[in-house]
Amino acid sequence: MIREVNSEIITETIAKMCIEANCVIAPEIKAAIETAKQTEESEVGKTVLDNLLENARIAKEKMVPICQDTGMAVFFVELGKDVHIVGKNLTDAINDGVRKGYTEGYLRKSVVKDPLIRENTNDNTPAVIYTEQTDGDKIKITYAPKGFGSENKSALKMLNPSDGEQGVIDFVIDTVRKAGANPCPPMVVGVGIGGTMDKAAYLAKKALTREITTENETEYYADMEKQLFEKINMLGIGPQGMGGTVTALGVNIEVFPTHIAGLPVAVNINCHATRHASVVI
């Protein structure tokens, strides 16, 4: 049976998500920073983590952005095949929500109309939208505002199949090492392995929307997540690049089948806030 959803509901939902995700840190991220404060060996690092927690507290109480860079709006949408959207189409409904949320929430507008001409759109649209059709009559929307202090330090490499697991690990570690303090660590690292060049990048970004307390469902990759987490925290970058033992809060890996001749790997880095939120309509 087909279920109708008015596009205005989507727009209003998106507007609220934009404001709340930019002002209220996710519970598992806050908990991870609190845990990091207990394990960090550097006194300067502990102070930085204290400051991050205080910043998150003020942002939530006053409903002001956790960070001045409120990001480019990225959405992952799971659209049930039994849903019929009435009114505007899905893309327009989402962009209307971004426009409304970023304006009413006084969030910084960071999007330019053209990558070279650089004229600001003044409403943070258009959003980046990934849509996947699923079974059922619901719409699941995951919003992930992506600041570019971290986005600019992401990377992709087409490895040879012979590079294997060690090649993947070396590339991830090298990417984080080169990123240094720029992504505002302690960071969350998303890794996409497989598919094509673009699919790997998509997987790495989607990995950042998974709670860091949830391991990859395959034991092999769950073990790799732990190994990378340990190696990254041995780099000594530390909170906000001030040195220390906590450089990452988590590492999430997502994989997809690939071609016999390839091994695409993408690393998408997020800052300490790793803003994200999901709703089901």
pLDDT in 10s for each residue of the chain, 281 residues: 899 999 999 999 999 999 999 999 999 999 999 999 999 999 999 999 999 999 999 999 999 999 999 999 999 999 999 999 999 999 999 999 999 999 999 999 999 999 999 999 999 999 999 999 999 999 999 999 999 999 999 999 999 999 999 999 999 999 999 999 999 999 999 999 999 999 999 999 999 999 999 999 999 999 999 999 999 999 999 999 999 999 999 999 999 999 999 999 999 999 999 999 999 99
Alpha helices, H only, 79-218: 90-104, 148-151, 164-179, 197-207
Helix H or strand E encompassing 100: helix 90-104
**Closest-CA residue to 246 (of 54, 48, 51):** 48
State which fold the 3-21+66-145 domain adopts: Dihydrodipicolinate Reductase; domain 2 (3.30.360)
* pLDDT confidence of residue 216: 98
d(CA 100, CA 274): 22
**Closest-CA residue to 249 (of 19, 2, 13, 45):** 45
* pLDDT confidence of residue 260: 98
Q: Where are the domains of the chain?
A: 3-21+66-145, 148-274
* Residue 164: half-sphere exposure toward Cβ, Cα within 13 Å: 2
* pLDDT confidence of residue 113: 97
The whole-model pTM stands at 0.96
